[in-house]
Amino acid sequence: MKRFLIFLLVGAIAACAPPPDVSEKVVWYEQPKALQSFELNDQHGNTITNTALQGSWTLLFLGYTSCPDICPMTLLKLAHTYQVLESNEDVDVWFVSVDPNRDTQQKRAAYIKHFNPEFKAVSAEHAQLFPFVKDLGLIYAINQQSDQDYYVDHSASVALVNPQGQLEAIFKPTYAPGSVPTIDEKQLLTDLQHIIN
């Protein structure tokens, strides 16, 4: 009986805990969202499932290796953020390629190595990829001109999955006239630390 009352008390305290002090650039879910089962492939040829998202915080960003601006800029910022957090927090970074036709395993491996070889560069055929991306609250669309000459529209936001493998938050990019929409690195770091802690 005492143990049951303790569990109730702990649950009540957790339920009354204030939300993290985050900026207006963050969509934080009071009830984290469970992700549907998925299968992706990383840059080493390994099959990646939901279990890979458990045990650590994970930042996920959509893109493609032919992207001229948003992707390299955002990945560079995530690489800097990862360096700051690496010694203090258990955080992983996933680059989710939404151009599986051109972004082969070898191409993804070479691309992500420029930013951080510790990052995962994952992808899959659209039938598996699109539901996964949608589940993260993100989106992409192929604007195909030909088999090789096309660009991909994709979210510039970064999703955060908690150590239970649930969608915890989305970090929205900053839009400034005449500039590419990307995340604010300093704000991301501050908001991320507030959520984690």
Q: What is the pLDDT of residues 108-131, one digit of tens each?
A: 999 999 999 999 999 999 999 999
**18 pLDDT tier (thresholds 50, 70, 90):** low
Q: Positive or negative, the Cα torsion across 97, 100, 102, 103?
A: positive
Looking at residues 174-197, what average pLDDT do you find? 91
Q: Positive or negative, the Cα torsion across 97, 99, 104, 107?
A: negative
What is the pLDDT at residue 17? 56
**Could you count the other beta carbons within 10 Å of the beta carbon of residue 167?**
20
Distance separating alpha carbons of residues 30 and 79, to the nearest angstrom: 27
CATH for the stretch 25-196 = 3.40.30.10
**9 pLDDT tier (thresholds 50, 70, 90):** very low
For 113, the 3-state DSSP assignment is helix
Looking at residues 157-186, what average pLDDT do you find? 94
**88 pLDDT tier (thresholds 50, 70, 90):** low
Whether 8 shows a pLDDT value over 60: the answer reads: no
Looking at residues 73-102, what average pLDDT do you find? 92
Task: Kindly state the tokens that stand for 136.
Answer: 């993260």
